[in-house]
Structure 1
């Protein structure tokens, strides 16, 4: 049965006056992809010259390592167009990569040595050198292997019409932006509570190449297949587990989401908190710096969270400064593995599910979350990461335990009601059809991405890398045959040229030494 409070809100929003308020959701995608050689090994070349400058290109850049590309779409209301933009950006970049390919998985290909993972280079400007030194710090703090892991970030904002309707229905009298920020934080708390479901459905990293461990032992009960693939029989998303993007030093940082001031204070405390772990590494004041500074977080971006409140910042402005000045503008979901079954790393089905799931997280009641409950959500996630497809898995829900299948079924009952409301508002059946299809994955985990991957590995008795390399070649061949859809080649060539001109201008505008530039940056931060 649908949750009572959620049903009340959906019934109210379904009234003629508010029925179409949900129309106009905007989404943007940031897809990371490791560049590899045709042989399957990590590429050692620099960022593709013809794709533009990674510092100043709005859509094609590098992430942590020089070989880890990042494709960024603008925010838009048409999900199919967003995917088409992403496909165009990949096509253009592939055309400037020679025989190199895009690795279609989150966990990296075979890497013989961590030193094969070069730091991303952003030029000789102060801001470019800062970005590279930040990555030097990440390498020295967490190791280089983490810099080769890829993911997909999903950015989403709700339309102003929905905020107007919700504020009216809540009879809320505070300034609209304060209300919006409050509601987004409620969404984030609910997302953290049930984020494990996203990992269960779309986790696509149940295996890894044994080279990722670099000879180190793991406490996880890995099984082996092929020449060197390690996998967890019931695993879903190793990228989100202890082997992936984690930072043990951050476990002491109590960044919470009950109000915006609280969140900002927690984040700012973290970037000013001296680290005993990293205190011995030299910082930017040294002649041979190994990190930006000696704090637990070098900068705010180092804070690892599967979901973030965001606002577009102005030049020189930190994320928390932008939030403090203007409030929350959108949310960034960072919990998605690269989908190996889609050439773009994410497909329309996932987008539709996230539309419904995030709307559900917004509309359902969201009590405040103390630190202990927040830690509990992380325990649930780790259990699903390592054994989510075990039908006997038990998770902690509030003060009691619940079987994962039972809890997921409860959530899907609510999601079906939200999808019905969204379909009515948008004059479609896409949302309900998506939820109906994915609900079958709850009782048949072989349908999930991780289940499909493990099934393929076992049936073929081959390494995951062999399968991934085959997909990489297939996707590149398909890209060559597909015409541009939203952009065109000349448009993207012009953007690449503009990015190089902008980078040169940034470099020419530098008035301070690198050390003085960072002194100024951190004094303002």
Structure 2
């Protein structure tokens, strides 16, 4: 088959598929005790949120990625989910380990609560039955479930190049059944490589703990332990059950037989290391027979405490090539292969750190020898198909050859030093700090505008299905129940009509509309060519003015002269403005400070004062050097992907400094603030300061009136106010913005962070 694969497929085809991860995890308090708080309300109804729900316990979160075509996308989304959840846990942490933290007796474990609907009642009753049957403590074991299917084109090409002795559905089922059988045979290797549950806390199941040795305060293990989650002390059926994997029909019949004989109550209770998944999960067994196998779910993977999302990208990559090995590898005819595979699992789980002997087709073989044999075959596949995973396979080989390279060895050493609870709490605290530092980002989507990332993040948190329609255009769709909305750049929505957008783009039209509503705007003139503008230059020389393109955004092409300017500088300002538009406006300069009011619907949801790009002197460095250092801040970036923008030392800045007798090589005195431009846009390097709670209501009402006058539901209102604390102060609306950035209000440089994305979802009627 390897030769066939090589002839039929490119590397890109083989590495594509459908990959998803479900990561469970307990919420714990600052002392490492199982949380008694209910599931956070912000995540919505548990049965409706496709990304964040609960498992057995109210305190047991389950993070679910969509299916992506690459493992890298899956990995990044999983990390993004961790950040989203972590930021909503108040005085709590997400436990970074599969085996539980400090847990109470069964009667005090909070079982997951659901709505009063029939589906919710069934879900609750099922959990109550599991509690009685298996005990609550084992139910709290968490893990990584890896969901996978091949790219459909791979299966279709393989079918077209087969003898077509069966129909396509049966052919596809046979492929997944072969992978399933081989996964069961070789799962011991993944358990060894990814196992990380070699220690349990004293509050865990008493029958297990009493067989172990205390290695540090409250921490128990045995020599060589690797994965208690995959051992007899883990979560398993009362007796060993071996379904048939010869065909889908026989698989379904064997499960129905287990149910008929009262070994299990439903297919969900079969705790196999791998599950066949169907197109219709609500009628899984019937759907398997009628529709075939949709994908496979691997359930043997422990949470990796050393990785925020619970599994490394390299391990996901390795599983990807391991899947090809499972497909290509010829099967043994050994009759008792399932019992042998389970025995190997138990040996690895309880003593895998030692060079134990496993059983292969009834014969003894050392763990290292067999592991290297498998990896050699994986390497041949990688080399022949040119997959490019040489380094990852070599890294994996080192873990097989030296148990001290395994995650489980590293965690047990950490526990010996810090104790079970403290070791994991310290890790959880570190990840929560990382989540805070990344709070304005959506991992995997950092190339998008930051406002789009923030809206996507808020939508995912609330269980609104979020799909990226056009990456380069920051175009997304939001879906909940039967409702769907399309949004571009976070604030271009169906709530604003096209003529409103056009009116706000045109500053002359904007001024006339506002004047008709008796809203103060600056007086001014407009010119369609630079010759006409220059001909009237005497009217503008040495007067407080603003020169700007007619249709501009983000402060581009604007020159501001609050004290007036020479004929030469006014001419330069006209030349700059005409680079951005064929029509240029000259307006009176209104005294005061500029404030950005963000209006959504009929209310102001955020107000910022934006401080122009500036350098603060140290008496040693030049403006050029100071700006270079300031631009190194992680808050500053390019293209609206960070809360602040990098400062450009462009021609506008040069002109502004020249007007003050300075240049970029000027060395400011210690603590001297040197501004680089008059306009304070964040897009040109300005700093943002939140004033939402400080500005009097009268100015907020003016902002809302301005937005409503032009017919906008989402609008950025730029207002000059002479003295914001004085309700009778002079003011002027200098601009309305149809696509206002929300990140500057969500994450200001100074002041309260505002939940602007929530307000957008509210006006879109999602919450």
Q: d(CA) in 1 for partners of 2:15 and 2:192?
A: 28
Deviates more, 1:45-54 or 1:10-19: 10-19
Q: Contact (CA 8 Å) 1:119, 1:135: kept in 2 or not?
A: yes
Deviates more, 1:373-382 or 1:264-273: 264-273
Quote the offset at 1:96 in angstroms. 2.1
Q: Hey, what does 2:46 align to over in structure 1?
A: 54
Q: Hey, what does 1:346 align to over in structure 2?
A: 311
Q: Hey, what does 1:207 align to over in structure 2?
A: 199
Q: d(CA) in 1 for partners of 2:399 and 2:9?
A: 36
Q: Hey, what does 1:333 align to over in structure 2?
A: 298
Deviation string 1:370-394 (CA, Å, 9 cap, x unpaired) is: 5x32111101100110001111x11
Q: d(CA) in 2 for partners of 1:503 and 1:229?
A: 46
Q: Contact (CA 8 Å) 2:184, 2:341: kept in 1 or not?
A: yes
* Matching of residues 261-280 of structure 1 within 5 Å: 261-274=249-262
TM-score by length of 2: 0.58
* Higher Cα Rg, which structure: 2
Structure 2 CA distance for partners of 1:498 and 1:401, relative to 1, 3 Å:
closer
Indicate which of 389, 392, 398 corresponds to 1:440. 398
Quote the offset at 1:164 in angstroms. 2.7
Q: Hey, what does 2:455 align to over in structure 1?
A: 490
Q: d(CA) in 1 for partners of 2:197 and 2:398?
A: 21
SS in 1 for 2:100: coil
Indicate which of 360, 364, 376 corresponds to 1:401. 364
Quote the offset at 1:238 in angstroms. 0.2
Q: Hey, what does 1:305 align to over in structure 2?
A: 272
Q: Hey, what does 1:90 align to over in structure 2?
A: 82
Return the structure number with greater helix share: 1
Indicate which of 224, 229, 241 corresponds to 1:239. 229
Deviates more, 1:339-348 or 1:174-183: 174-183
Q: d(CA) in 1 for partners of 2:7 and 2:482?
A: 55
Structure 2 CA distance for partners of 1:451 and 1:63, relative to 1, 3 Å:
same
Q: Hey, what does 2:413 align to over in structure 1?
A: 455
Quote the offset at 1:161 in angstroms. 2.4
Return the structure number with greater strand share: 2
Indicate which of 125, 129, 133 corresponds to 2:121. 129
Structure 2 CA distance for partners of 1:475 and 1:497, relative to 1, 3 Å:
closer
SS in 1 for 2:14: coil
Q: d(CA) in 2 for partners of 1:169 and 1:16?
A: 9
Q: d(CA) in 2 for partners of 1:81 and 1:99?
A: 30
Q: d(CA) in 2 for partners of 1:380 and 1:104?
A: 27
Quote the offset at 1:499 in angstroms. 6.6
1:420 partnered with 2:383:
yes
1:380 partnered with 2:344:
yes
SS in 2 for 1:334: strand
Q: d(CA) in 2 for partners of 1:232 and 1:475?
A: 29
SS in 1 for 2:203: helix
Q: Hey, what does 1:509 align to over in structure 2?
A: none
Indicate which of 141, 144, 151 corresponds to 1:149. 141
Deviation string 1:72-129 (CA, Å, 9 cap, x unpaired) is: 0111112222122122222222222212110000001112423332111111111011
Q: Contact (CA 8 Å) 1:92, 1:489: kept in 2 or not?
A: no
Q: Contact (CA 8 Å) 1:257, 1:263: kept in 2 or not?
A: yes
Q: Hey, what does 1:70 align to over in structure 2?
A: 62
Q: Contact (CA 8 Å) 2:56, 2:140: kept in 1 or not?
A: yes
Q: d(CA) in 2 for partners of 1:385 and 1:55?
A: 33
Q: d(CA) in 1 for partners of 2:118 and 2:8?
A: 55
Structure 2 CA distance for partners of 1:130 and 1:97, relative to 1, 3 Å:
same
Q: d(CA) in 2 for partners of 1:166 and 1:244?
A: 39
Structure 2 CA distance for partners of 1:240 and 1:17, relative to 1, 3 Å:
closer
Deviates more, 1:52-61 or 1:489-498: 489-498
Q: Contact (CA 8 Å) 1:209, 1:230: kept in 2 or not?
A: yes
CA RMSD of aligned residues (A): 2.3
Deviation string 1:173-215 (CA, Å, 9 cap, x unpaired) is: 321121111111111111111111111111000110011034x
Q: d(CA) in 1 for partners of 2:100 and 2:209?
A: 17
Q: d(CA) in 2 for partners of 1:387 and 1:455?
A: 16
Quote the offset at 1:400 in angstroms. 1.1
SS in 1 for 2:7: coil
Q: Contact (CA 8 Å) 2:98, 2:143: kept in 1 or not?
A: yes
Q: Which runs of 5+ in 1 are unaligned?
A: 1-8, 275-295, 506-525
Q: Contact (CA 8 Å) 1:44, 1:67: kept in 2 or not?
A: yes
Q: Hey, what does 1:224 align to over in structure 2?
A: 214
In the comparison of the two structures, how many residue pairs are matched? Answer: 461
Quote the offset at 1:17 in angstroms. 6.3
Quote the offset at 1:168 in angstroms. 4.2
Deviation string 1:232-289 (CA, Å, 9 cap, x unpaired) is: 221111001111111124x2x4412111111010112222323xxxxxxxxxxxxxxx
Q: d(CA) in 1 for partners of 2:392 and 2:165?
A: 37
Q: Hey, what does 2:354 align to over in structure 1?
A: 390
Indicate which of 319, 329, 340 corresponds to 2:284. 319
Indicate which of 480, 483, 489 corresponds to 2:436. 480
